[in-house]
Structure 1
């Protein structure tokens, strides 16, 4: 069953002579439980593609179905719900809120989802333990290493039990050893059947997924297995 179904997706900015086409006629299907990397150099369109998959942006033309929902037909409130509950985002720079503790950062998406305080805390504690930081719940992000902050970000992305995990260069701000540890965590999540889409410019990272989608000059060039 396809979780992500993109058909003839085009994204352009500006108009007339200033019109710039960033994505052109992209077709892409991602099945439930797949671990896919979208590989491309800077300026290839991969970040724009990620934003469309994550419902952070809408295409200029084409069709996008997420879990069989036609995204173009959804209201802004429905898109916000999808971003909060259906997609777990993991960013290169972690995006943790500095004035919240680690546990409060993980709980935050559940507050927006209307989950009770007791259930929020239970899920946050469970996931913090899952990523190996069970003793760090009361500390603040600046008291953690980069690798630890990324683990917290992964726990936050998982807390709503999303359909799709969307990771944008998740090891880009980490040293090689720490990056390998984070990739090990993604392998564990993939083995558990999570649907993962990872954006990267690094072929070494890309090869660790089950399938590589190459993008260049706004077009998907090929989809292959490492």
Structure 2
């Protein structure tokens, strides 16, 4: 199957208004193919997944009601693009223009009816079953896997930015909270201090190997589960 090397950049297109994306005169767009009904439906779903994924990345509360779409929505679009290229002979650039045009159409529709959230909800509703059929839901990580994922995320950000930014500080707190809960859970199973240390280290190494592999790495996991594990207890705060 054809994969686009920079497909993530296509989803970034919806993070800013379309009018702001062109820094200068844009070249003439390639002619767009006539899509059949199924291809049009897949294109609409790809566009709405891109919009919602962008909103989720910005922490928009309404978008967070939907399943995480950064990875699965991107994969859905990649598969749509590959099939469309195979069937129509169009280029990757044309597929990109198709997505941009459909995102713009949906945004204009939402503005015209004066109900952006309602339009988004109605548009995505028939697309979610399509997504489940095409791209399986993300795996739910265990407490130990989440501790390793958050620790790896902290280590990566710290190595790149040090402790100067809020992201590293937040990840340090989250990883410490989840690892502490992992250790308590292991102790409740009867493990001793040394055995707990070994178990935590082994989980970290397994997740690091997975992250560095050729597959989707940690992106195959529903990371929202990890933030649920990190939530403070009702009678505590951090």
| Same fold by TM-score greater than 0.5 | no
Q: Please identify which structure carries the higher strand content.
A: 1
What's the TM-score once normalised by structure 2's chain length?
0.26
Which one scores higher on RCO, CA 8 angstroms, separation ≥ 6? Answer: 1
What's the TM-score once normalised by structure 1's chain length?
0.27
Structure exhibiting the larger radius of gyration computed from Cα positions: 2
Q: Please identify which structure carries the higher helix content.
A: 2
